[in-house]
Amino acid sequence: MKYVEKTGKSVDEAVNAALAELNAKLEDVVIDVIEEANKGIFSIFGVREAKVRVTLKERESVRAIREFLQGLLSRMGLDPALDISYDDEDKKITVLVSGENMGALIGRRGDTLDAVQYLTSIIANKYEDEYIRVIIDTENYRQKREKALVAFAFKQAAKVVKYKKNIMLEPMNPHERKIIHSALQNHDYVTTYSLGQDPNRKVVIALKDRKDQRRRKPYSKRER
């Protein structure tokens, strides 16, 4: 668990410095006093500052995530390390998984990783009063996948412009469709929209018709 050690003229001063660094409240931490402040004789000689170790308590949702993933990944034949962090400002829990054979966790086009993330989100939100987003990643897969999808979107858009023919992409999950829509939303010559129902919902990249006053607006959340 995350902790910091701080010194101060008093225990309270050291604790407050630690809370500020951890961005935590008093009820969220465990405090160990390593050394009490000592002003020495006549407050001149032998002055010693107080020293404390302040440790963040593990949130119930984080504990539940850890237990769930350790059990699930073990049944998948994996023995990874889990680095779990909680962001109170963004209401987000990020889980970074590292170890051998992470391809088994990622699955085809990230399908397994997305499924594990979905289940983990359900588990975590049982312990939260407000909805909290859960992100699970390994080997920086999500950033690599987003970069590949953006490049793919522009490549397909170029084909639409060149051949003057709409292109329907293969089915994608809502997150990946959003990446395609966002990548092309300001494109000069194409627009995007989605057709079908999940899990077979697809993105269409279409040539803008400048003569059509009713042409489709750039994507909205409704079209994901």
pLDDT confidence of 73, banded at 50, 70, 90?
A: very high
Where in the sequence of the chain do the CATH 3.30.1370.50 domains occur? 143-223
Q: Which range has the worst mean pLDDT, 8-22, 31-45, 114-128, 207-221?
A: 207-221
Q: How many CB atoms lie within 10 A of CB 86?
A: 19
Q: What is the pTM of this model?
A: 0.70
Where in the sequence of the chain do the CATH 3.30.300.20 domains occur? 60-139
pLDDT tens per residue, range 90-124: 899 999 999 999 999 999 989 999 999 999 999 99
The pLDDT of residue 223 is above 80: no
The pLDDT of residue 212 is above 50: no
Mean pLDDT score, 69-86: 95
pLDDT confidence of 183, banded at 50, 70, 90?
A: very high
- Give the separation between CA 60 and CA 127, rounded to whole angstroms: 6
- Give the separation between CA 55 and CA 71, rounded to whole angstroms: 26
Where in the sequence of the chain do the CATH 3.30.30 domains occur? 3-56
pLDDT of res. 27: 86
pLDDT of res. 59: 86
The pLDDT of residue 210 is above 80: no
Mean pLDDT score, 53-64: 90
Determine phi and psi for 14, rounding to 5 degrees.
-65, -40
Q: Which of 183, 182, 154, 186 is nearest to 167 (CA)?
A: 154
Mean pLDDT score, 30-41: 83
CATH code given to domain 60-139? 3.30.300.20
pLDDT of res. 43: 54
| 143-223 CATH choice from 3.30.1370.50, 3.40.50.300, 2.40.440.10, 3.30.365.10 | 3.30.1370.50
Q: Which fold has domain 3-56?
A: Defensin A-like (3.30.30)
In angstroms, the Cα distances linking 169 to 160, 164, 189, 195 are 12, 16, 18, 10
